[in-house]
Amino acid sequence: MKKALICGISGQDGAYLAKMLIEKGYQVFGTARDAQMSNFPNLATVGVKDKVTYSSMALSDFRSVIQTLVKVQPDEIYNLAGQSSVGLSFDQPVETLESISVGVLNLLEALRFTGIKARLYNAGSSECFGNTDGVPATETTLFQPRSPYAVAKSAAFWEVANYREAYNLYACTGILFNHESPLRPERFVTRKIVSAAARIAGGSNEKLLLGNISIARDWGWAPEYVDAMWRILQQETPEDYLVATGETHTLEEFVAEAFNCVGLDWHDHVVADPSLLRPSEIMISRANPEKTLQKLGWKAHYKMKDVVRMMSDRN
Task: Kindly list the catalytic residues.
Answer: 125, 127, 149
Identify which of 222, 28, 33, 19 has the alpha carbon closest to the alpha carbon of residue 123: 222
- Interface residue with ligand NDP among 6, 12, 121, 194 (CB under 6 A) is 12
- Can residue 248 be called a binding residue for ligand NDP (CB under 6 A)? no
CB contact set of 234 (below 8 Å; sequence gap of 6+): none
Task: Compute CA distances 90 → 145, 193, 217, whole Å.
Answer: 13, 22, 20
- Interface residue with ligand NDP among 4, 28, 43, 59 (CB under 6 A) is 59
How many CA atoms, within 13 angstroms, populate the side-chain half-sphere of residue 265? 2
Q: Which is nearer to ligand NDP, 97 or 111 (CB)?
A: 97
Closest residue to ligand NDP: CB criterion? 11
- Interface residue with ligand NDP among 4, 5, 6, 32 (CB under 6 A) is 32
Q: Residues 169, 181: contact at Cβ < 8 Å?
A: no
- Interface residue with ligand NDP among 61, 75, 95, 281 (CB under 6 A) is 95
- Can residue 139 be called a binding residue for ligand NDP (CB under 6 A)? no
- Interface residue with ligand NDP among 5, 6, 11, 65 (CB under 6 A) is 11
Q: What are the backbone dihedrals phi and psi of residue 132, each rounded to the nearest 5 degrees, phi first?
A: -110, 15
- Can residue 312 be called a binding residue for ligand NDP (CB under 6 A)? no
Q: Residues 159, 112: contact at Cβ < 8 Å?
A: no
- For the chain, the first-to-last Cα distance in angstroms comes to 36
- Can residue 8 be called a binding residue for ligand NDP (CB under 6 A)? yes
Q: Apex CA 17: angle with CA 143 and CA 184, to 5°?
A: 70
- Can residue 289 be called a binding residue for ligand NDP (CB under 6 A)? no
Among 46-54, 175-183, 291-299, 305-313, the segment contacting ligand NDP (CB under 6 A): 175-183
Reduce the DSSP state of residue 124 to 3 states and report it.
strand
Question: CB of residue 162 vs ligand NDP: minimum separation in angstroms?
Answer: 19
* DSSP secondary structure of 179-230: EE-TTS-TTSHHHHHHHHHHHHHTT----EEES-TT-EE--EEHHHHHHHHH
Q: Which is nearer to ligand NDP, 100 or 200 (CB)?
A: 100
Question: CB of residue 14 vs ligand NDP: minimum separation in angstroms?
Answer: 6
- Can residue 38 be called a binding residue for ligand NDP (CB under 6 A)? yes
CB contact set of 177 (below 8 Å; sequence gap of 6+): 126, 217, 218, 219, 220, 242, 243, 244, 245, 285, 287
Q: Which is nearer to ligand NDP, 11 or 223 (CB)?
A: 11
- Interface residue with ligand NDP among 89, 106, 125, 312 (CB under 6 A) is 125
- Can residue 311 be called a binding residue for ligand NDP (CB under 6 A)? no
In the complex, which residues of this chain contact ligand NDP (CB under 6 A)?
Answer: 8, 10-14, 32-33, 38, 59, 80-84, 95, 99, 123, 125, 176, 178-179
